Amino acid sequence: MILIAFYACNDEDQPQNLKAEVTDFSPVMGGRNTLLTLNGSNFGTDINNVKVTINGKEALVKTVTNEVITAEVQKGTSSGIVRVILGERPNAQILIYDMNFTYVSNQVVSTYLGGESSGEADGDFSVATLSKPRYLVWGKNNALYIVEDGASSVDDMACIRVAKDNRLTTLLKASESTLVQRMRAIDFSLNENTMYIANDNNASGTMGFGTMTKNGDKYENLTSLWDQGGITAVKVHPETGAVFIGYHSGSWIYQYDVTNFIPKFQLPDAAGAAASKGNINTIAFDKPGTTAYIVSRKNHVIYKASYDMATGEFSDVKLLAGSFGVTGYADGTGTSAQFNEPSQGDVDEEGNFYVADRGNHCIRVITPDGEVSTYAGQNKAGMVDGIASLAEFNNPEGCQFGPDGALYIADYSNHAIRKVEEAQVQP
């Protein structure tokens, strides 16, 4: 059975009165770089007129004849419906075959650091321990900065750690400062001379937002710039260097311009009104810097917004994925997908957004069009390395791509940093 949706098609190489169809495709299972062959009729011959998607993720079309299309499966694909799109929307002909393609992950999960037991020990990776890693940022010096949850006591210490050259050190301890306790996120100025720190001072620390300055290879001189409570996120724009802050009450995004904290916009609820509270865990930009993704952990949703680098303004702020205020676990499109406390996320080279889904113990990936799938993990708590689809996490919170292209995960309740990367895995 073939399901076909038709629209007007004006391309000269694809006659308007001929209905196209897909009769079969092969193989029906594969991983990244698998060459998919789709057989049928009336595809036309213009390769620029043909698009193939698998569960919303575009495949790379290699060849097109009137009867055969070949397309290569790309990174970030997941199992789902195969669509052939002829022409440009809205004047396009969309063909859907009734058999799904099964994507076999060639991503594997390993443990990069920690995981044996909870602790605060510095030293070589072989002996160093983590307690509650929650947020990750890579520096340009190939150092991984780790924000750990906790309080100000020595045995439950919130801190910022640094992993570099196979060694873990502690940069900042909440037990040694009255300014910070519940640190939520960090980021760096473009020249990395300044570290920005979001600290939720609803705990015991008095600082809401502040900085540390670089001195040699260390950061020091912790300074409070705003004592506002409920600061939960900070992000430096990758091109302009503008500093944005997430504020829990009213789901506000602010901009810090060195002098003032400027309100930019509020995230909407399901009805389009301002969401009263957000617990914003991530503000992330795509590589060109023109699209922002924002995670509301409290409301279990992912937002998407356009950003104009010339004017510094956001527009078209919309709920991209998740059901507002509803917890659950479901892959799907837009509001049909469900999350459970999505936390930190990051964007790949192709504009896909990866997010640690804390309460579902897995990593999800969302395409720019809002197609949600599970990238790694099984929606159950555990500590298992191996093939991404069979791996297990325990309340993952941090999620950041490294300089090697791997995805690093702060696995909160496993006291570990995990690593997801491509490898040769047989189905």
> Are 41 and 73 in a shared domain?
yes
Tell whether 402 and 382 lie within a shared domain.
yes
Residues 140 and 94 in one domain: no
Q: Are residues 39 and 168 in the same domain?
A: no
- Asked if residue 5 is part of any domain, the answer here is no
- C-beta of residue 78 within 8 angstroms of C-beta of residue 374: yes
pLDDT of residue 155: 62
Residues 253 and 332 in one domain: yes
State the average pLDDT over residues 47-51: 95
One domain for residues 383 and 250: yes
Determine the pLDDT at residue 116.
Answer: 80
Q: How confident is the model at residue 40 (pLDDT cuts 50, 70, 90)?
A: very high
**Does 300 reside within a domain?**
yes
pLDDT of residue 427: 43
Residue 44: pLDDT band (50, 70, 90) is very high
Residues 249 and 341 in one domain: yes
Last residue of one domain, picked from the residues 82, 103, 124:
103
pLDDT of residue 160: 97
Q: Bigger pLDDT: 213 or 120?
A: 213
Q: Which of 43, 72, 103 is the last residue of a domain?
A: 103
Residue 30: CB partners within 8 Å, gap ≥ 6? 36, 73, 101, 102, 103, 104, 427
Tell me the one-letter amino acid at 192: E
- Does 9 fall in a domain? no
| Interacting residues of 98 by C-beta distance below 8 A, sequence separation 6+ | 1, 2, 3
Tell me: do 249 and 227 sit in the same domain: yes
Whole-number pLDDT of residue 157: 76
The CATH number that applies at residue 153 is 2.120.10.30
CA distances from 89 to 85, 162, 179, 396 (A): 9, 48, 53, 38
13 inside domain: no
pLDDT for 320? 98
DSSP labels, 194-231: EEEEEE-TTSS-S-SEEEEEEETTEEEEEEEEE--S-E
What's the domain range around 73? 21-103
For residue 57, what pLDDT is reported? 87
Domain for residue 250, yes or no? yes
The count of structural domains within the chain is 2
Average pLDDT value for the chain: 91
pLDDT score of 6: 41
For the cut 80, the answer to whether the pLDDT of residue 72 exceeds it is: yes
Indicate the range of 94-108, 219-233, 240-254, 365-379 predicted with least confidence: 94-108
- pLDDT of res. 153: 67
Between 283 and 3, the more confident residue is 283
pLDDT of residue 175: 87
| DSSP state, residue 61 | E
Whether 186 and 203 map to the same domain: the answer is: yes
Rounded to 5 degrees, what are φ and ψ at 174?
A: -65, -25
Dihedral sign, Cα of residue 332, residue 301, residue 161, residue 252: positive
Q: What is the pLDDT of residues 325-380, one digit of tens each?
A: 999 999 999 999 999 999 999 999 989 999 999 999 999 999 999 999 999 999 99
Residue 289 shares a structural domain with residue 210: yes
Q: Is 187 left (phi over 0), alpha (psi -120 to 50) or beta?
A: beta
Q: What pLDDT is stored for residue 15 in this prediction?
A: 46
Q: Say what percent of the chain tops pLDDT 70.
A: 93
Q: What is the pLDDT of residue 18?
A: 75
Q: What is the pLDDT of residues 387-409, one digit of tens each?
A: 998 999 999 999 999 999 999 99
Mean pLDDT score, 71-94? 88
Structure confidence at residue 204 (pLDDT)? 73
The answer to whether residues 75 and 140 belong to one domain is no
Look at residue 22 and tell me whether its pLDDT is greater than 90.
Answer: yes
* pLDDT for 424: 55
Q: Within a domain: residue 3?
A: no
CATH of the domain at 64: 2.60.40.10
In-domain check, residue 344 = yes
For residue 399, is it within any domain? yes
Q: Are 67 and 150 part of one and the same domain? A: no
Tell me which of 103, 120, 144 is where a domain ends: 103
Q: How confident is the model at residue 425 (pLDDT cuts 50, 70, 90)?
A: very low
pLDDT at 317 over 60: yes
